Structure 1
């Protein structure tokens, strides 16, 4: 399993919005794009998908932009990933025509997917923010 650019960029955008959630500050597309080095056009599409799924809200006006729709403690990484990638990328194999080996491989793949989903369900956007802050502190300590 691999993290697609689409999901990675969406998580980076959500991380920026989560950082500003408590202040209520909105971010415009170009600000997020610069902060996370994401192409503007691509980010527009990702944010539209996140907005349609209810993870973020758009605010109109001169000071408009995007904000999280809910507290970052209540948005799991699985929600964000599922929003970008769809519900389930596991292929369905017809057991009537599949070989025994193919069925065994499929069983293991399903188990791996369930384990990955359990980990993603366990972490929230707030957890990402906290981990980033811990890593930043470590970097600062290293340079002192």
Structure 2
């Protein structure tokens, strides 16, 4: 499994919103795009999807923009993946008509992989990613002093 560009850009945008969550002020698309090097038009589409999924809220007006719809510690990576990809974060296995013992084993194993992947995604929140980012930035600052 690989991290898609769509997922990476979404997570970067959400991390930017997480960093500004406590300030309570929305961020404009151009601010997020500039900070995270995401194309404006693509980011606009991603944020619209996240808004429809109730992960972000938008505010209109001169000081408008986007803000997280709930606390970053209450938004899991599974929530984000489900919002982006539909009701399940991982794709289902092939649906073969003839079920053999071998295909049943493959399907059962693939279901276990999906379940474990979803468990891991459910365990991580935006807050967890934000804290990892802050820790890494602190290490980098300390290293260069």
* Range into which the TM-score falls when normalised by the shorter chain: over 0.9
- Distance in structure 2 (CA, Å) of the matches to 1:41 and 1:106: 39
Tell me the equivalent position of 2:3: 3
Q: Does structure 1 conserve the Cα–Cα contact (< 8 Å) formed by 2:93 and 2:110?
A: no
Instruction: For residue 92 of structure 1, report the CA deviation from its aligned partner.
Output: 4.9
- Distance in structure 2 (CA, Å) of the matches to 1:68 and 1:59: 11
With the length of structure 2 as denominator, give the TM-score of the two structures: 0.92
- Distance in structure 1 (CA, Å) of the matches to 2:99 and 2:40: 44
Tell me the equivalent position of 2:63: 63
The total of aligned residue pairs comes to 143
- Distance in structure 1 (CA, Å) of the matches to 2:132 and 2:15: 11
Instruction: For residue 9 of structure 1, report the CA deviation from its aligned partner.
Output: 0.9
Tell me the equivalent position of 1:12: 12
Tell me the equivalent position of 2:109: 108
Tell me the equivalent position of 2:38: 38
Q: Alpha-carbon deviations, 1:89-117, whole Å to 9, x = none?
A: 113524x5134323222211111111111
Matched ranges for 1:43-54 at <5 A: 43-54=43-54
Tell me the equivalent position of 2:131: 130
Instruction: For residue 45 of structure 1, report the CA deviation from its aligned partner.
Output: 0.6
Q: Gapped runs of 5+ residues in structure 1?
A: none
Instruction: For residue 65 of structure 1, report the CA deviation from its aligned partner.
Output: 0.4
Tell me the equivalent position of 2:98: 97
SS in 2 for 1:22: helix
Instruction: For residue 2 of structure 1, report the CA deviation from its aligned partner.
Output: 1.9
RMSD: 1.3
- Distance in structure 2 (CA, Å) of the matches to 1:53 and 1:118: 20
Q: Does structure 2 conserve the Cα–Cα contact (< 8 Å) formed by 1:93 and 1:103?
A: no
Q: Gapped runs of 5+ residues in structure 2?
A: none
- Distance in structure 2 (CA, Å) of the matches to 1:104 and 1:34: 48
